[in-house]
Every structure is written in structure tokens, then in C-alpha cells.
Amino acid sequence: MDTKYIFVTGGVSSSLGKGILTASLAKLLQARKMRVTIQKFDPYINIDPGTLNPYEHGECYVTEDGAETDLDLGHYERFLGVYTSKANNVTTGKVYKTVIEKEREGAYLGKTVQVVPHITDEIKRRMLLLGKTGKYDVVLTEIGGTVGDIESLPFIEAERQLHWELPDDDIVTIHLTLIPYLRAAKELKTKPTQHSVKQLQEYGIQPDIIVCRTEMPLFESMKRKVALFCNVKENAVIECLDSPSIYEVPLSMYKEGLDRIVLEKFGIKGAPEPDLTNWKAFLDRLNHPKYSVDIAVVGKYVELQDAYKSILESFVHAGAANLSKVNVHYVQSEELKDGNLDEKLGCYDGILVAPGFGERGLEGKIRACKYAREKGVPFFGICLGLQMAVIEFARDVCGILDANSTEIDPGAADPVIDLMEDQKSLTIKGGTMRLGAYKCHIENDTLAYRIYGKQDISERHRHRYEFNDKYLKVIEDHGMKASGRNPDTGLVEIVEITSHPFFIGVQFHPELKSTPEHPQPIFCAFVAAALKHKGKRDAK
Ligand code: GLN
């Protein structure tokens, strides 16, 4: 069988959930024993989102091979349980960079380099790249932005050309649109969808399937109307109702027949029915919690849900694993002051200090670490969270009063957290952090070992600063242990406080590898510790 290509475009409005729809369809095809991957084409000119403020673009997701990517890749991995890579996220910036570099090398000598055909050829090359590896039966491509945007036009044009170049039954376009409900008129409206499909048709693409996001069920007559005016068969108009959880979407898309119609378009007969046993078992646990816990996530990007996307999702997975609903409460680190810690943090069963960059809000994070340490509240520090826990411990327990990170104070007298050696000579900011998967060796008889149940693990990273080895002895002598280290460089990857019920900090980002079917062990253990802490508090 040739590799099949599915393109997902968006119409009417942004934020309709193209990523979730694409991941849900991929899940259904994977559950039918097909080998699938998903890639995202983003119209912005940055090479990757690594240099973007989370307020601009939400979380920056990091792949095993160290690519800084769009957060939708996180959804792809969580739904499929299959790693993505550098090749799975293409931006306009990457496309132009390749073309301009080729031009400088003289690859187009004599020719005027143009959007069509040079940019579109490079887009097409990348659209087909993963399919050509022979590793996948189906490659799904999500096109970022909304049809009609100036920025995404070259992507749409490349997609049009592929419809022309590939056999008809190797390529399908799905258009995700919105059917708004006008409350005053008590009516659902199809006009915006008709317009957005017309726009796509104007660009030369006839969508094969139209998925309609809606908050009210669509009448058959309404589906017929969309089908008629958008020129698709009636069974190719799919209703996508608002869902209580993103993880329900594969099941609702199955009910609507999205995967069946895709297989029909591809001319694939006799595919096995999807096996979603593990997925449904997860949903069952998710939907029937017996307990609940309240966790504080202390960070500085708390106004924006998407800034800590993978952390939030990891709590959903770990909550289900513990039969517990996890209520995550964002706490703005800048608001934490010495006098208000009880009021701001006293009501939570666990405290997570979030990753981050720059100086803003750091002293608040340090206070949160101190509070958790002194009050015996389960504590989980991620990346910057580990760094702040080390500074707090050095200052308050080891008496190193000037302990600091050189990220906060480049001239710190006691830089317990310091810029990594190989970062010191770097001047370029994009893609130069310590990125991607690295091994970590865990010591026996530690909390980390009890959590992972093994000594050799691998997790993903995104940082420039590290635990300064010069302070290791004094810090360990006072009771904070480096329980996990990189086997090649010795870099401290995990710290814990032995005498505390649950206090762990990690230099890596465990949230990037949590999935519903394989919840991340530290998140699971942290939720379990929070439940225990809650039990103790309630008993008082
Ligand atoms: N800013 C810190 C560093 O660069 C922590 C990074 C993070 O939390 N991802 O090391």
C-alpha cells in the first residue's frame, strides 16, 4: 500500500482544536493497526517556537531528538504514545532558511527564486518526507492557522499541488470549521462554514470531509445543507460536539464515522475495528474518580492555560492512575511574600514549582520551596523548580546566605546554580540550550528509585543552568541528596530531601513523556503523596 496522506485545515476561527482532531483520527487509525505519524506545519517565520515567550505561543514542547516545537506535538505524542521528531514540526522560517541557503550555495543558478515553485516545492518535499521513510502507512499533516490567512497560503498551495500529483485515493483533506450557535435567534448557522469552504475551493482545494465544531447537536437537515453547499457527500459532514475531555474525542469521532469515511476515501477495505481497550480503561478511571486532591502550580505564566500544557495533562493522567481528580490551582509566584504563604499555599495538598526563564517571580518560587520543605507538604520542582529548591536549601539549611543562580545574579558570590560550561561561549539563542533526551542514573535506596523502580532512565531537557558540583558535598551533608545524575557528565538531574515525606526536584521535564496509557511515574507518586498528605490533614 502507498503511504496515505491526510491534511487537516481550519476554517472560520482559530482554537477549534485541529491538533486534537488530528490526534484523535490518528489514534483511531493506529487502533486499527496502521502505522501513523502526525506533523504540524506552522506559518510563522521563527525557525521554531524556542525563542517565543509562552504568552505568545503557549508551552514549547521538546522532542526526544531535541527539537523545540509547537505544543500540538505534545498532543500527538500523548494520543499515539509514539515519539515525534525534528521532522514533525515545520515552520515557514525553516522552509525559507533551506531555500535561501540553497540559493547562496548556487543551487538555483540563473533562476529567480520565487514562492511558487521554490518555496512550495520545499514545502511539498517536507510534507512527503516522513511518508518516504517507509515507517508509516498514514501521515497526517495539520496546517496551522485559518484558511484565508496570508501566512499559510504557500502551505495551502503546496497541498493543492499534492492533490494534483498524488493518486486520488492517497490523499484526503479534512476541513475543521465552526457552526456557531446564535443564542438570541436560537439557531445554528452554517454560513461561516460555507464561506470558509468557498475560500478553500478558490485556492483549488475541494475538502473531502468537513468536521463541524458545534456546541449544539446538528440536525440532519443542517448536515445536508453543509454537504450541498460545500460539495461533499452527506456522510462526510461530521459533527464534533464540545466534549468534557479532549481524550473523549477519539470515541466521539469513531461514533461519527470519521475513520470509516477516511478509509473509504483511501479505498481501504477490511481494516480491523479499532482496539481502544486501554484508552477506554483510562477514560473509565478518569470519569469515575474516588478521591480528589488540590495541587498548587507555582509559576509566572499562570494567566495562560497553555503555558504549562504538558504539566496539566500529566496531572490528568496521574490523577486517573490514582483514581483521583486533581484540581490544579495556579499560584502567581510574584504574589508570594513572606507574610502571605499560609494564606496563598496553606490549602493545597501538594506544591509544584514550575519551569521558567528569567528573573521575574523567582524569589516567590524560592519561598514556595521553603514553605513546602518546612511544612512537610509534598513538593515537586521541575527544572527551574529544582534550581529554586537548591538555592532555598543552600541559603536556609546550609547557611550559604548568598546562594543564588547566575541566571538571577550573574555576579553571585555563591553560584549554587550556574551556567553550564558549554553554554558559556554561546552567543546564539535559538536551539542552543541543552535539549532533548539524556540518560540519568538513579541511586539505589532513594525516593527517585522507589518512584521509577529502576536505576537507568531517560528524560527530556531544556535548560542552560545546572547544579554547581562545587556545592554538592555541603548540600548533601545537610540532607539534600543528588539521587540521579547523568552517567556521562555527572550533571545532577534529581535532588531529594531524605527526611521529608516527599520532596523531589528534577532538572529534566518529566511532563513531556506522560501519556494516558503510560502516566509519568513522578507525577503518579506526587499525586499519591498529595492524597496521603490530605488524609493526614483531614485527620487532624
Ligand atoms: N531557566 C533555567 C535554565 O535555563 C530553567 C529552565 C527551565 O525551567 N526549563 O536552566
Q: What is the largest CA-CA distance in the chain?
A: 81
The residue whose CB lies within 8 Å of the most ligand 1 atoms, and thus the one to mutate among 68, 464, 467, 511, is 464
pLDDT at 302: 85
> Closest Cα partner for 440 from 510, 492, 383?
492
Ligand 1 midpoint to CA 100 (Å):
32
More confident residue, 139 or 58: 139
Is residue 540 pLDDT above 80, yes or no?
no
| Rounded mean pLDDT, 84-110 | 95
Q: CA 166: distance to chain centroid?
A: 32
For residue 379, list its beta bridge partners.
351, 503
465 lines ligand 1 (CB under 6 A): yes
pLDDT in tens, 176-198: 999 999 999 999 999 999 999 99
381 lines ligand 1 (CB under 6 A): no
Is 230 tagged catalytic? no
Alpha carbon distance 300, 125 (integer Å): 40
Cβ(40)–Cβ(84) under 8 Å? no
Is residue 1 pLDDT above 80, yes or no?
no
> In which band, very low, low, confident or very high, does the pLDDT at 12 lie, cut at 50, 70 and 90?
confident
The residue whose CB lies within 8 Å of the most ligand 1 atoms, and thus the one to mutate among 298, 310, 357, is 357
- Mean pLDDT over each residue of the chain, to the nearest integer: 95
Is residue 517 pLDDT above 90, yes or no?
yes
Q: Which DSSP helix (H) or strand (E) runs through 97?
A: helix 92-105
**Shortest-distance Cα residue to atom 6 of ligand 1:** 463
pLDDT at 454: 97
> Closest Cα partner for 394 from 470, 501, 336?
470
Sign of CA pseudo-dihedral 509, 511, 513, 518: positive
463 lines ligand 1 (CB under 6 A): yes
User: Phi and psi at residue 497, in whole multiples of 5°?
Assistant: -105, 115
Alpha carbon distance 305, 4 (integer Å): 34
392 lines ligand 1 (CB under 6 A): no
User: What is the position in ligand 1's atom list of the atom closest to the CA of 356?
Assistant: 8
Alpha carbon distance 515, 187 (integer Å): 38
Ligand 1 midpoint to CA 296 (Å):
20
Instruction: Give me the half-sphere count of Cα atoms (radius 13 Å) on the Cβ side of residue 284.
Output: 6
Sign of CA pseudo-dihedral 16, 17, 18, 21: negative
**Shortest-distance Cα residue to atom 5 of ligand 1:** 384
> Closest Cα partner for 229 from 210, 205, 256, 203?
210
Is 142 tagged catalytic? no
Cα dihedral: 103, 109, 111, 113 (round 10): 0
Is residue 428 pLDDT above 90, yes or no?
no
> In which band, very low, low, confident or very high, does the pLDDT at 57 lie, cut at 50, 70 and 90?
confident
Ligand 1 midpoint to CA 382 (Å):
9
Is residue 422 pLDDT above 90, yes or no?
no
> Closest Cα partner for 514 from 300, 211, 363, 309?
309
60 lines ligand 1 (CB under 6 A): no
- Cβ atoms within 10 Å, residue 477: 9
Lookup: cell for 122: 520545499
Sheet of 291-299, strands arranged across: 324-332, 291-299, 350-353, 379-382, 503-506, 492-497, 480-485, 434-442, 456-463
Inter-axis angle of helices 249-256 and 258-266, nearest 10: 60
Alpha carbon distance 84, 77 (integer Å): 7
The model's pTM: 0.94
Ligand 1 midpoint to CA 355 (Å):
6
The residue whose CB lies within 8 Å of the most ligand 1 atoms, and thus the one to mutate among 300, 407, 432, 508, is 407
pLDDT in tens, 107-161: 998 899 999 999 999 999 999 999 999 999 999 999 999 999 999 999 999 999 9
Is residue 358 pLDDT above 80, yes or no?
yes
Q: What do you get for the CA distance between the two ends of the chain, in Å?
A: 65
For residue 478, list its beta bridge partners.
none
Alpha carbon distance 438, 430 (integer Å): 20
Q: Specify the residue for cell string 523548580.
A: 385
State the DSSP string of 491-526: -EEEEEETTSSSEEEESS-GGGG--SSS--HHHHHH
For residue 436, list its beta bridge partners.
461
Residue of 118, 369, 511, 533 marked catalytic: 511
Is 509 tagged catalytic? yes
> Closest Cα partner for 174 from 257, 85, 62?
257
Alpha carbon distance 165, 188 (integer Å): 37
Cβ(460)–Cβ(509) under 8 Å? yes
pLDDT at 48: 87
> In which band, very low, low, confident or very high, does the pLDDT at 304 lie, cut at 50, 70 and 90?
confident
276 lines ligand 1 (CB under 6 A): no
pLDDT at 248: 97
Ligand 1 midpoint to CA 531 (Å):
29
User: What is the position in ligand 1's atom list of the atom closest to the CA of 509?
Assistant: 9
355 lines ligand 1 (CB under 6 A): yes
489 to each of 108, 467, 532, how far by Cα in Å? 44, 12, 36
**Shortest-distance Cα residue to atom 8 of ligand 1:** 355
User: What is the position in ligand 1's atom list of the atom closest to the CA of 357?
Assistant: 1
**Shortest-distance Cα residue to atom 1 of ligand 1:** 357
72 lines ligand 1 (CB under 6 A): no
**Is there a cis peptide before residue 154, judged by omega within 30 degrees of 0?**
no
467 lines ligand 1 (CB under 6 A): no
User: What is the position in ligand 1's atom list of the atom closest to the CA of 407?
Assistant: 1
Residue of 369, 383, 398, 524 marked catalytic: 383
Q: Which DSSP helix (H) or strand (E) runs through 363?
A: helix 362-375
pLDDT in tens, 221-271: 999 999 999 999 999 999 999 999 999 999 999 999 999 999 999 999 999
Alpha carbon distance 531, 65 (integer Å): 35
Ligand 1 midpoint to CA 433 (Å):
9
